[in-house]
């Protein structure tokens, strides 16, 4: 028997909260990448913090959205190992993309490579998280919808990485993070639209249990704490007090000390 599946058991609350987490992660990642370009001597640290922020933001978005997931006639449980594995995957693949564009620039080939790797990784994170679900039934997927979700993930990742090295002002970063939130959340709900559940047994409980909600909230505590710490670091960084418009036109190559303008300035100082 095919069960009725819902992604909005608690209404729009989980959708809005998931979207806000995706925006927060994207926004912090953009600000960290901006600082890595401004401070090449600390580039590795800022890029790592950016990757962790984006990865935790995406993962938190996913599992906040999953709080609203319910299967009529079945209880839903999660395997802790696979749930944590999906978090590791999210951070790792985002780190690959962020470090590629952070150190090698946003050339079309490099951006396409980093965006594809990161997007596929985000999709893997999503479906590893889905594989952690245990219920009294079999979960199936509509292949065309799954493919569409992967395409959205790759496009969103590519756009996010381009924005990370191309957008520097605070307000532009905020706008980009809002757009990225739509793309990442859209990828999640597109993937969830592909889900169907065929029940092999029926339970009288037709909604998520309190134990499930408690489990997800405990799992979310760690990434949410990381995002809070990241936000504090970004907010209290001295660069927040500076006028960033003064260097918006500066390319990453110049900021990294490899551009022609930088060599001219160095030559001038040596004369």
What are the tens digits of pLDDT across the range 225-246?
Answer: 999 999 999 888 776 545 444 4
Average confidence score pLDDT of the chain: 82
> Pick the residue with more confidence: 51 or 207?
51
Asked if residue 204 has pLDDT above 70, the reply is no
- pTM comes to 0.81
Measured torsion, CA atoms of residues 102, 104, 110, 116, in degrees rounded to the nearest 10: -40
Read off the pLDDT band of 186 (50, 70, 90).
Answer: very high
**CA gap 4, 264 in Å, rounded:** 66
In this predicted structure, which of 98-107, 235-244, 250-259 has the lowest mean pLDDT? 250-259
Read off the pLDDT band of 203 (50, 70, 90).
Answer: low
The C-alpha angle 53, 112, 29, rounded to 5 degrees, equals 15
* Residues of the chain above pLDDT 70, percent: 83
- Looking at residue 260, its pLDDT comes to 40
Element (H, E) at 110: helix 108-131
Residue range of the domain that includes 104: 5-270
> Pick the residue with more confidence: 135 or 266?
135
Total domains, the chain: 1
DSSP letter at 31? H
**CA gap 249, 242 in Å, rounded:** 16
pLDDT tens string 116-171: 999 998 999 999 999 999 888 888 999 999 999 999 999 988 988 888 778 777 78
């Amino acid at each position: 028997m095919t069960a009725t599946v819902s992604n909005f058991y608690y209404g729009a609350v989980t959708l809005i909260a998931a979207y806000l987490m995706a925006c927060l992660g994207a926004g912090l990642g953009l600000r960290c990448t901006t600082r890595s370009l401004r401070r090449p001597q600390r580039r590795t640290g800022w890029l790592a913090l950016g990757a962790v922020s984006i990865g935790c933001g995406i993962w938190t978005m996913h599992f906040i959205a999953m709080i609203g997931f319910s299967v009529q006639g079945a209880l839903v449980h999660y395997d802790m190992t696979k749930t944590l594995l999906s978090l590791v995957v999210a951070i790792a693949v985002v780190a690959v993309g962020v470090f590629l564009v952070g150190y090698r620039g946003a050339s079309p080939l490099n951006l396409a490579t980093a965006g594809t790797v990161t997007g596929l990784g985000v999709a893997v994170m999503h479906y590893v998280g889905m594989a952690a679900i245990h219920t009294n039934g079999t979960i199936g997927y509509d292949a065309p919808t799954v493919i569409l979700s992967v395409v959205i993930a790759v496009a969103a990742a590519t756009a996010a990485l381009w924005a990370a090295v191309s957008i520097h002002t605070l307000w532009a970063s905020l706008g980009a993070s809002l757009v990225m939130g739509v793309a990442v959340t859209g990828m999640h709900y597109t993937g969830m639209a592909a889900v169907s559940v065929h029940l092999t047994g029926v339970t009288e409980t037709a909604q998520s249990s309190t134990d499930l909600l408690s489990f997800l909230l405990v799992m979310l505590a760690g990434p949410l704490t990381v995002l809070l710490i990241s936000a504090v670091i970004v907010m209290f960084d001295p660069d927040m007090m500076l006028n960033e418009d003064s260097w918006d036109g500066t390319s990453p190559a110049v900021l990294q000390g490899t551009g022609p303008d930088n060599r001219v300035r160095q030559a001038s100082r040596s004369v």
